[in-house]
Each structure stands twice: as C-alpha cells, then as structure tokens.
C-alpha cells in the first residue's frame, strides 16, 4: 500500500511539473504572452509615429491648396523647377 501511495505522489508531482512547464513555456504560455505584449507596445509606438507623420503631410497638403507661396516653394525645392529668366546655382558636394 505504501508503494502505491508513493507511486501516486510521484506521478502527481511529475504531472504538476509538466503542467507548470506548459503554463510558462508552452505555445500559449506566459513567456509567449510577454513577448507578444512587447511587440504590441512597439507596434503601438510605430502607429503613433505614423499618425503624426500623416498629420504633418495633411497640414502640408492643406497649406499647398490654400497658398500659392507653398506651391511655388514645393515646385522650386522638391521638383527643382524654375521660372524663365531665373539664374540657377548648383552647389555640389
């Protein structure tokens, strides 16, 4: 009878150890959840930064639509366009 109880206790302890291992290191365990939480925080930071970038671009678009000055500024700086008679200087590095 004593051997039977020891065997049952040993199996129970092994079973509890296996469940604890699966709970922490299993495919849906605590370790995986911790990693996913970090990834979620990083993605949220990326989303926030992209939303700021979008708002800056929207401000530029609205300024471009409302003011001729910004249209000319973009044409000269980004599209490298010039009016007739303008003198162009290229400073290369």
Q: Are 25 and 31 in contact (CB under 8 A)?
A: yes
- Distance CA(64)–CA(17), nearest Å, equals 66
Domain map of the chain by residue range? 2-77
Residue 27's pLDDT is 84
Neighbours of 76 (CB within 10 A): 13
Residue 64's pLDDT is 77
Confidence of residue 22 (pLDDT cuts 50, 70, 90): confident
Confidence of residue 54 (pLDDT cuts 50, 70, 90): very high
Q: Is residue 46 pLDDT above 90, yes or no?
A: yes
Q: Tens digit of pLDDT for each residue in 74-93? A: 777 777 666 666 666 666 65
The residues near 70 (Cβ < 8 Å, ≥ 6 apart) are 60, 63, 64
Q: Are 29 and 23 in contact (CB under 8 A)?
A: yes
Q: Are 24 and 31 in contact (CB under 8 A)?
A: yes
């Amino acid at each position: 009878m004593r051997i039977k109880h020891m065997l049952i206790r040993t199996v129970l302890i092994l079973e509890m150890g296996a469940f604890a291992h699966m709970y922490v290191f299993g495919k849906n365990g605590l370790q995986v959840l911790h990693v996913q939480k970090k990834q979620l925080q990083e993605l949220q930071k990326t989303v926030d930064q992209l939303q700021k970038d979008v708002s800056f671009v929207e401000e530029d678009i609205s300024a471009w639509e409302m003011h001729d000055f910004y249209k000319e500024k973009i044409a000269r700086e980004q599209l490298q366009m010039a009016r007739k008679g303008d003198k162009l200087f290229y400073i290369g590095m």
